[in-house]
Amino acid sequence: MTTPAWLKDIEYRRGNFPVLLVEGDDDRRWFEHFLDQYSFEWRSKFAIFPAEGKQRVLSGVKNYHSTDWAGIVDMDEGFSDDIQNRLVNSPRIRTLPRFCLESYFVVPEEIWRVLPDSQKGQITQADWETAILSDVPAWVAHGAMWRVLRRVYQNSRLPEGLDREPVTDRTKILEILQTWHLSLSPDQVMAEYDLDLAAAQRLPLDEQIKTYIHGKKFFHQVVIQKMDRLFHGKGLDDWMDGFQKSRIQPPADLIVLLDWVLGLFP
């Protein structure tokens, strides 16, 4: 199996360290931050590199470094069956306990803990939480539709019956296309959306925020915008620098994942 160029580059730059692969450079930045808070000596044991995509993380670990590297991928919409199968067969790959890494910066109570006292003096915690939570119902609905559309698109872009092997019988082709068309039906999409939204709304509020809302979009479009308005911030980089200067221990659900990583690279 020929090693892809992106993986060769990481193999060259890693030196003598084993590698933890993550999806993107923001993921690398924040895993390094959280690990520094939790166990600074990790830097003498392994390196973190972005693979630039979920499929690359899965492929890089499973197909090329199944015994010495590890990988972490976003939870996202819950994954396709294909990715789930890859994870089952890859003990050195784990998913985040939340939708994505930005989901660690969208829970109002958790953000409040890392705000400096000068900003906490400008607003009560209750008013701060209300400001963020007022947008949650709409973003839960967005998360439900996002999951459904991703699932429908993933299942519909290649009709399996026509992709697997040659089909020349016109009646059979029409039958496959009609079945495929049903998966694109607006009525079917809305029915799945209703089910997904109802399932999300049954979750505790903090679980809706952590696992159902599209964390990256919510962070950029709601949290950062409201922090700028309430505390006169200067945009994303300003707040990211502030978060990185905080010395708050990672949340409990992330510590479980960090312990797993540290256990792989003793």
pLDDT tens track for 21-38: 999 998 998 899 899 989
How many Å apart are CA 42 and CA 260, to the nearest integer? 12
Q: How many CB atoms lie within 10 A of CB 195?
A: 12
Judge if 99 and 136 occupy the same domain.
Answer: no
3-state SS assignment for residue 135: coil
More confident residue, 221 or 187: 221
- pTM of the full predicted structure? 0.82
**């925020």: which residue's tokens?**
209
Judge if 150 and 220 occupy the same domain.
Answer: yes
pLDDT tens track for 80-113: 555 566 665 788 999 999 999 899 989 999 988 8
How many Å apart are CA 185 and CA 183, to the nearest integer? 6
Cβ contact 38:258 at 8 Å = yes
Tokens in use for 183?
């998966």
Judge if 59 and 171 occupy the same domain.
Answer: no
What is the maximal distance between C-alpha atoms in the chain? Answer: 73
The residues, ordered by sequence, that sit 6+ positions from 170 with a Cβ below 8 Å of its Cβ are none
Cβ contact 17:38 at 8 Å = no
Q: What pLDDT is recorded for position 88?
A: 56
Strand intervals (E) in the chain: 19-22, 47-50, 70-73, 93-95
More confident residue, 116 or 46: 46
How many Å apart are CA 179 and CA 184, to the nearest integer? 9
Judge if 110 and 240 occupy the same domain.
Answer: yes
Beta bridge partners of 93: 71
Tokens in use for 184?
């694109």
Q: How many CB atoms lie within 10 A of CB 198?
A: 10
Q: What pLDDT is recorded for position 249?
A: 76
CATH of the domain at 39: 3.40.1360
Judge if 119 and 222 occupy the same domain.
Answer: yes
Residue 242 CB-density burial (10 A; 0-12 exposed, 13-18 middle, 19+ buried): middle
Q: How many CB atoms lie within 10 A of CB 147?
A: 21
2 dihedral zone (left: phi>0; alpha: psi -120 to 50; beta):
beta
Judge if 142 and 191 occupy the same domain.
Answer: yes
Q: What pLDDT is recorded for position 56?
A: 94
Q: How many CB atoms lie within 10 A of CB 22?
A: 27
Domain that holds residue 181: 105-245
How many Å apart are CA 113 and CA 234, to the nearest integer? 20
pLDDT tens track for 43-63: 999 999 999 999 899 999 999
CA dihedral 258, 211, 110, 52 (to 10 degrees): 50
What are the Cα distances from residue 92, in Å, to 7, 30, 87?
17, 20, 9
Judge if 165 and 100 occupy the same domain.
Answer: no
Q: What is the mean pLDDT of the chain?
A: 87
Residue % of the chain over a pLDDT of 70? 92
Q: What pLDDT is recorded for position 169?
A: 85
How many Å apart are CA 163 and CA 76, to the nearest integer? 26
Judge if 217 and 122 occupy the same domain.
Answer: yes
**Number of folded domains in the chain?**
2
How many Å apart are CA 46 and CA 218, to the nearest integer? 32
Judge if 205 and 224 occupy the same domain.
Answer: yes
Judge if 143 and 163 occupy the same domain.
Answer: yes
Q: What is the mean pLDDT of residues 135-145?
A: 94
Judge if 217 and 119 occupy the same domain.
Answer: yes
Judge if 142 and 260 occupy the same domain.
Answer: no
More confident residue, 70 or 247: 70
